[in-house]
Structure 1
Amino acid sequence: MANDKSPPPASNPDRRHRPPFGEISTAQTTASVDTGSLDFSDLPGLPRLRYRILDYKLKLFVVVALLVLESSLLPIALYYGLVLASTLRHGLVFAIITSFFGIVTGIEFGLRSWKLIFKGDTYRPVGGTKWSMDFTHWTLSFGYTVMTVILIIFSVPYDPFVRPLAIPVSVFLIQAGLQLTWAGCMNTAKRPAPFDISSIPKGARVPPLVLTLVEDIVGVDGGAGREYRNTVLARYEASPRFKKMIAQQNWFWAVGALVDGIGTMAVIWTVPERVAYGVGTSTIKMASHLASLPPEMVLHIAEFLDRRHLSRLICAAGYLYAHLDELLYKREVTQGRLDGLVYAIRRGAATAVSKFIAAGSDVNAMVNMTPDIQDFMGYASPLAIAVVRGQRQIVEILLDNGARVLNPFSGALCYAVFDHTIADRNTPLSIALLMGCTDIAIDLVRSTENKDGFVSTHSAIGELTGLEQAISCLRPEVVRELLAKGADPNRRRPGHPTGPAPLHTFLGQHGLHPYGISRIPGGEALVLKTVLTLLEYGADPFLKEFESCPSLHRGHPSNCPCNPTACQMGSTSHHSRVRLHFSDIEHRQNCNKPPCRQNRHNHWLLREDLPGYCQGYPGERHIHEPASVCRTGVLDRRLSFDVEVGRLSSALG
């Protein structure tokens, strides 16, 4: 039976006269084929789709294979191939990869546009115009635009952002999943379409988006044309089972796309960057074998293993876990490199450090740190790197394996240590003292037998012993450890046998800088504690600064005001506690009362620690007596000392 009311000609579509979707009569079985309708009068039952997908299996296979190649296999192969087997920087690698993006999809998109624009009504939606396209075309346009923008933005920098470059496929999946979910919810709620959805006019009930995708893809890409669009809509209206199947398929693909897209996105931002690109472009999870490797091996691989072997590692992680562990550590020794050892020290990987040493790494070798300049600029030893990083456990491992505490190196600290100038040569002990790593410095002192060895060299000052460096840096605990080990508290400056002893050096250095000391937490207390420690271990407060007068004075050197004793220097100190204590020391030498007379040689005892000490003694009266010491001369000598020692403590001034 023919339908008396034929639809308007397809060449002049008018959506105002098109019957709304949902009101197409299931009894409508005939129409003119040349106008886009079908005649089902010769076929019983439901409207037939007249389309066999198996007739296009070769085309379908080729298109799907090319799409998988472009969106997954080719990017992964190019990324890992170029990164691991070439020396190209990442910017050029991604420039090559993105140049292949859109070849297959672009050709397919162009063919769709050609059919919809220049082939009349043959492939357009029912009621569509030349430029209205179909819903799938607009979906692809938006998705391709977003993907292209992501690839351009994050591949432009000199060092591209790998993780964002791995998300375009996931973003497209999330977009499709959201659209499918929206259409499913609108269809379930029987809501009208807010706009034309391919052949579904505005105001008609929103169909599941799977139906629209089938209509558009088979009608345009599959070549079935307007004829298929009409029949699939008629079949959907006529068959409740078909409706149910389409609804189920819609939710299946909606949930699947969202789970796949969001899950892949989460994996991309949690796994290592190099693995993330493979996850994002293939949407397949990497094998769990890589995560089962010991942390020190993964750490070593990331920094040291030759790039071309990384792909083999991913493919054979289980084998490498069992057989490659020992080889990785021995390889560094055979190649004469210390990259892995340095990286392990910086990250605090004690197990890895032990394995590198067991494999034969030289703990006293000098490593050129200039390329990265994270800790030192120039050459430094592994022990010095561990000290700068504050890795006490690794310091102990290196010391147990023969690392030399007084091993000099020329590398300059990259950290700002404002209280002290940069030395021409340092040792691990001097670095520990400068950085304030007291516990590590004590460990270093205990592991060396050279109690008076030089720890640093300064062009203006000369060589400094560990004791001199410790008192200069206000480390009284380290001073005590050195003195307990046998360091000489009255030893004259190295290279200057008639020069000042450590106590003179300390008082001359810190006596003129009360403001600088006050900036250090507990600074004045540290000064007093350092002085008392030196005195406790035998520092002579009455030792002359020089054995002979350094100036051209006439007369006996012992009476020269330019050559004061340590006690005289201390009694004119700007630190009140130090000044009071040295005044007490002088008082004990002249006082005949038992408490003072009995403690004349206990120079380290404070007055509050002496029962029965002279209560009426003011403690500082003699510093105003010109006969006791020429204060101007003392200050002049300390000023000349400040010129000599000032570069060691310039910021304190």
Structure 2
Amino acid sequence: SDDVCFEPTPPPLNYSLAPRKWSIVFFWSLIVVDCIFMPVGLYFGLWYGLTRRQLSANAVFSIVTAALGGVSIMEYVLRLRRLMRKGSTCRPIGARRAYLDWFHWNFSLGWFIIMIELIVGTVPAHPPIRLLAMPVPSMLYAFGTELVIVDILRIFHVPAPIRISSMPAGSQLRPCIYSIIEDVVAVDGSGGTAFREALNRRYEASHIFRAMLRRLGVVWAIGAQSAAIVLTILIFTIQDQAAYVVGWAVPFLWAGVWSAGTWWYVERMLRKEKAAWAEEVAMKA
């Protein structure tokens, strides 16, 4: 680690979003279509369309529910395959094949909650539209709660109670957002285990990088929980069809704003990190 401190720049992550920007745009375009335009458009199209007299409320929501989540489910299956296949190059450092990764377990929990809501919501003859507006806020609750718990444990210096991706049980916890970055880039972003190792080196070597992740973790944890709570209040108080639109559309607007703010902040902090690193190297030389 002493050698790292004398390198002219912080340990590289060896990963860039630039060559993947169109893939990212394409993927998130599919997600937006799948999770906003599909449920909202299909609902209003069936409810007010030519088939309205032929379809009951239950039938409308059953059709909408059946059409939901195709892209997300496909991504779930693909990342499961990447983690489970023999000789996988994207597993957490030191983890067994069956462990998968921390993000995948949280993703699974979120989907489990969503499936319960959708099944319960489509059983009655007159489906509770407000409950059927809750799947995306529920996913925010799932991830937001996990982020908050991990950060509280970290603040109170509680060792990791279980393995969290590349951090084995009993190790010092890292900012709650660390494992999400590690898992998403390594698996979904094709960074592989090499990215996990590079991220670990960068985290251990750079105090500015660590501080950046701590702040981002707090912002995303509080943001996700706050957004979920506000959305829940809106969904169960405003007019029901408006609530349905809010429940499916607004979480993605929130995520877009938070992502844009994160992008700006990370770019700013990485420039600061680079300058501070150069100064520290010069002082040690």
Give unpaired runs (5+ residues) of structure 2. Answer: 252-285
Cα offsets for 1:154-207 (capped at 9, x unmatched): 102221111111111111111211111112222222220000000001111111
The equivalent of 2:260 in structure 1 is none
Distance 2:153 2:204 in 1: 17
SS in 2 for 1:45: coil
Cα offsets for 1:598-619 (capped at 9, x unmatched): xxxxxxxxxxxxxxxxxxxxxx
Q: 2:38 aligns with which of 70, 74, 95?
A: 74
Which is helix-richer, 1 or 2?
2
The equivalent of 1:265 in structure 2 is 232
Distance 2:172 2:216 in 1: 18
Q: 2:2 aligns with which of 27, 30, 40?
A: 27
Q: Which amino acid aligns with 1:27?
A: D
Distance 1:121 1:199 in 2: 15
Q: 1:142 aligns with which of 87, 92, 109?
A: 109
Residue 121 of structure 1 deviates from its aligned partner by 4.0
Cα offsets for 1:352-380 (capped at 9, x unmatched): xxxxxxxxxxxxxxxxxxxxxxxxxxxxx
Distance 2:203 2:68 in 1: 37
Distance 1:267 1:277 in 2: 10
Residue 73 of structure 1 deviates from its aligned partner by 2.0
**Structure with max Cα Rg:** 1
The equivalent of 2:24 in structure 1 is 60
Q: Which amino acid aligns with 2:67?
A: F
Percent of residue pairs bearing the same amino acid type = 33
Q: Is residue 120–residue 130 contact of structure 1 (8 Å, CA) maintained in 2? A: no
Q: Is residue 166–residue 278 contact of structure 1 (8 Å, CA) maintained in 2? A: yes
Which runs of structure 2 are paired with 1:85-100 in the superposition (5 Å)? 85=49, 86-87=52-53, 88-100=55-67
Please say if 1:217 is aligned against 2:174: no
Q: 1:200 aligns with which of 119, 142, 167?
A: 167
SS in 2 for 1:162: coil
Give unpaired runs (5+ residues) of structure 1. Answer: 1-25, 30-39, 285-653
Residue 150 of structure 1 deviates from its aligned partner by 0.8
Please say if 1:247 is aligned against 2:247: no
Residue 110 of structure 1 deviates from its aligned partner by 0.7
CA distance 1:96–1:28, change in 2 (3 Å)? farther
Which runs of structure 2 are paired with 1:122-201 in the superposition (5 Å)? 122-201=89-168
Q: Which has the higher contact order (CA 8 A, sep 6+)?
A: 2
Distance 2:227 2:72 in 1: 21
The equivalent of 2:279 in structure 1 is none
The equivalent of 2:10 in structure 1 is 46
Q: Which amino acid aligns with 1:219?
A: A
Q: Is residue 167–residue 280 contact of structure 1 (8 Å, CA) maintained in 2? A: yes
The equivalent of 2:205 in structure 1 is 238
Q: Is residue 38–residue 68 contact of structure 2 (8 Å, CA) maintained in 1? A: no
Cα offsets for 1:531-565 (capped at 9, x unmatched): xxxxxxxxxxxxxxxxxxxxxxxxxxxxxxxxxxx
Residue 28 of structure 1 deviates from its aligned partner by 6.6
Distance 1:256 1:193 in 2: 23
CA distance 1:194–1:28, change in 2 (3 Å)? farther
Which runs of structure 2 are paired with 1:446-465 in the superposition (5 Å)? none
Following TM superposition, the consecutive aligned residue runs of length 4 or more in structure 1 with deviations greater than 4 angstroms are: none
Distance 2:86 2:184 in 1: 16
* Aligned alpha-carbon RMSD (Å): 1.7
Q: Which amino acid aligns with 2:8?
A: P
240-249 or 77-86, which deviates more: 77-86
Q: Is residue 49–residue 228 contact of structure 1 (8 Å, CA) maintained in 2? A: yes
Which runs of structure 2 are paired with 1:336-375 in the superposition (5 Å)? none
SS in 2 for 1:191: coil
Distance 2:134 2:9 in 1: 47
SS in 2 for 1:128: coil
Q: Is residue 178–residue 213 contact of structure 2 (8 Å, CA) maintained in 1? A: yes
Which runs of structure 2 are paired with 1:312-391 in the superposition (5 Å)? none
Distance 2:72 2:176 in 1: 21
Q: Is residue 82–residue 88 contact of structure 2 (8 Å, CA) maintained in 1? A: no
Distance 1:72 1:245 in 2: 32
SS in 2 for 1:209: coil
